[in-house]
Structure 1
């Protein structure tokens, strides 16, 4: 009887140990998105404007390139080159509660633009393929101060699929999206303005 009880207890303990060892926690949708994007570190991709319902000519006819340039466990720096304009860098950071997006804008001399560091923080888990960043309070105050209050309702989104990476900005009455072809890496562009 004692032998059978000890055998049953041993089997139970072994089963629980095996269950615990194999139950690796599944990454959250945000971690999965961040990790997948990190796999493109060092690569650059050409893109094209897919949607722009209020074109102002700033992107028309210009070569568009994104470059996953700097990657750490908690932050990604992705310059977005528009022709010879190397002023824009998307900065995606892990935080205690999700992901944060900032747009770092620089002048050619490296000084920060008056409209810079705007963006937002995820409010939902999103999906491994899609993350959304509604404008945060800092951004709204910046846009009011700089005379563009219509942008207070901005939400920025990234779509990440095996063949396409998209950057999208949307608000009431306004939509802009650039799609990048992940199947054809291109030559890495020069260092963005203000970064070493």
Structure 2
């Protein structure tokens, strides 16, 4: 009898403790949820893109441009951005509980992190279901300053999603870059991005 009572008490205490350590649900708002859900709906598909704006011309984006909505969870999307045979870039969009974060995971061919990686920004307002903006965060500003490219401190990245088109845009004073992807025609999947595995 004592054993039964003791076991019951321990199980009850465990259940209470288990409830205590459960993570709180992420707070989110409709515009962020809608934007995230629209991108998540493309999971497992890849799309071809075209360089729409590169002003002033920077180079390095010649050849096939492909986005692949590769990995998706309820809180994170991993979207490699392939440029010809360069598989170094992955966009990571995360629900943070106070908005959406965009990070650029840059890898070397051996899978190691590039010296300039995980830069990006965080939403500062509601945005729209089809458009979200990510002004450079503090980590990115410090990284850009340390890397000798202080002009990038003013970067804002934007993503636009509509039924037929997804656009990735970066803008700052004196610089605009945009790639548009055709969502109407999924293409064959590209290779696994550097530093990742199946």
**Matches of 2:87 and 2:107, distance apart in 1:** 8
Match of 2:50 in 1: 48
SS at match of 1:31: helix
Corresponding position of 2:61 = 59
How far does residue 27 in structure 1 lie from its aligned partner after superposition? 5.8
Is 2:95 the counterpart of 1:94? yes
The corresponding residue for 2:79 is: 78
Mapped to 1, the partners of 2:137 and 2:119 lie a distance apart of 8
Q: Is structure 2 residue 97 aligned with structure 1 residue 114?
A: no
Give, in angstroms, the shift of residue 56 of structure 1.
Answer: 2.4
Q: Secondary structure at the match of 2:92?
A: strand
State the secondary structure of the residue aligned to 2:32. Answer: helix
Q: Which runs of 4+ in 1 moved over 3 A?
A: none
**Could you tell me how far 1:55 is from its partner in structure 2?**
1.5
1:74 Cα shift? 0.1
RMSD: 1.0
Please list the CA deviations of residues 134-188 of structure 1 after superposition, one character each: whole Å capped at 9, or x if unmatched: 0000000000000000000000000000000000000001000000000000000
Which residue of the partner structure matches residue 195 of structure 2?
Answer: 194
Residue equivalent to 2:18: none
SS at match of 1:186: coil
Structure with max Cα Rg = 1
Query: In 2, distance between residues paired with 1:111 and 1:37?
Result: 27
| Structure 2: distance between partners of 1:55 and 1:107 | 24
TM-score, structure 2 normalization: 0.85
In structure 2, relative to structure 1, the CA distance for the partners of 1:95 and 1:129 (3 Å cut) is: same
Structure 2 matches for 1:80-159, cutoff 5 A?
80-159=81-160
CA contact under 8 A between 2:136 and 2:155: conserved in structure 1?
A: yes
Tell me, what secondary structure is at the counterpart of 1:116? Answer: coil
2:186 is aligned with 1:185: yes
Q: CA deviation at 1:57?
A: 2.1
Unmatched tracts of structure 1, length 5 or more: 1-25
Separation of aligned partners in 2, 1:43 and 1:192: 14
Partner of 1:21: none
Note the alpha carbon deviations across 1:31-81, whole angstroms, 9 max, x for none: 000001100000000000001112122113x10000000000000000000
2: distance between equivalents of 1:27 and 1:162? 21
